Amino acid sequence: MNRKIIIANWKMSVNRADTTRLTRAAGVALGKCGGQADVILASPYVYLTHVSAILPPGITLAAQDVAVPHHPKGAQTGDVSPEMLRDIGCAAVIIGHSERRAGHGEVNDTIRAKVAAARASGLTVILCVGETADEHAAGRGRHVVSDQIHAALFDQPNMGPDSVMVAYEPIWAISGGGGQAATPEDVASMHQFLANYIETTLAPFQGMRLLYGGSVRPDNASVILSLPHVDGVLVGGASLDADALSEIIRAGCAASRP
């Protein structure tokens, strides 16, 4: 079965009550469509334990970032290690989101180290990549994105297509930055390119799932999910609305093929 993946990235936009409401809504929506899609909820650190305790069946919990531990545990004030995430029921983690690259100085080397650390603890990696508006306008999108993927994954030991997925999130399309979703043609063309790139250059990752993120909403989710080489969507703004999140989960179930 080709199951579509729906990831809700709540960023820093929720309080505890919101996480309860949205987690329950996601569970109901997924239950109603027979659990036909893979749903991942990426909560802020402080609510992970809470969401873990109320996580409906079939839904995976993810963190939005992780630190690289210098030792299994120890003196890293403010950091959260992959082991800690595992300990409280997290199975996945977003790494390399453009908001962390831009706002926290995360460069490709930082992201590669985080990917390795997350995998060493058995977390599934959701690797975010994407070009800026200027890079897009200059026709450099493919170059930038393939470079980001290569830097994070090439020659990483003990990793394969089941332990990592890539979310293509063009920065100019992310709603928080005022963007508008990429056109289906843009998404299809980048995903086709990435599928070929992985086959030729990152062969151990062949078959790795490719997601799209950037202004995904109920009114465009079905079209995006039906595109070739689009295995799922990463949803920010719309995942904060229980009805919108439920509708996108339904679209994911409908687009999953037996």
Catalytic residues: 97, 169
Q: Is residue 19 at the binding interface for ligand PGA, with CB under 6 A as the rule?
A: no
Residue 69 has, within 13 A of its CA and on its CB side, a CA count of 16
Torsion sign (Cα): 12, 19, 209, 252: negative
Scanning 14-22, 47-55, 136-144, 234-242 for contacts with ligand PGA by CB under 6 A, the matching segment is: 234-242
Q: Is residue 43 at the binding interface for ligand PGA, with CB under 6 A as the rule?
A: no
Binding marks (x or -) toward ligand PGA, 206..225, rule CB under 6 A?
Answer: -------xxxx---------
Single residue of 140, 204, 237, 254 touching ligand PGA by CB under 6 A: 237
| Calpha distance 231→215 (Å, rounded) | 16
Scanning 76-84, 112-120, 182-190, 235-243 for contacts with ligand PGA by CB under 6 A, the matching segment is: 235-243
**Is residue 94 left, alpha or beta, with left meaning phi > 0 and alpha meaning psi from -120 to 50?**
beta
Residue 41 CB, shortest distance to ligand PGA, in Å, is 13
Site for ligand PGA in 131-170 (CB under 6 A): 169
**């062949």: which residue's tokens?**
206
Residue spans of alpha helices (H) in 93-169: 98-103, 108-120, 133-137, 141-153
**């809504």: which residue's tokens?**
25
Q: Tell me the number of residues near ligand PGA by CB under 6 A.
A: 14
Q: Is residue 174 at the binding interface for ligand PGA, with CB under 6 A as the rule?
A: yes
* Joined tokens for residue 186: 């843009």
Single residue of 175, 189, 192, 222 touching ligand PGA by CB under 6 A: 175
Scanning 18-26, 136-144, 185-193, 236-244 for contacts with ligand PGA by CB under 6 A, the matching segment is: 236-244
Nearest residue to 36 via CA among 232, 241, 195, 217: 232
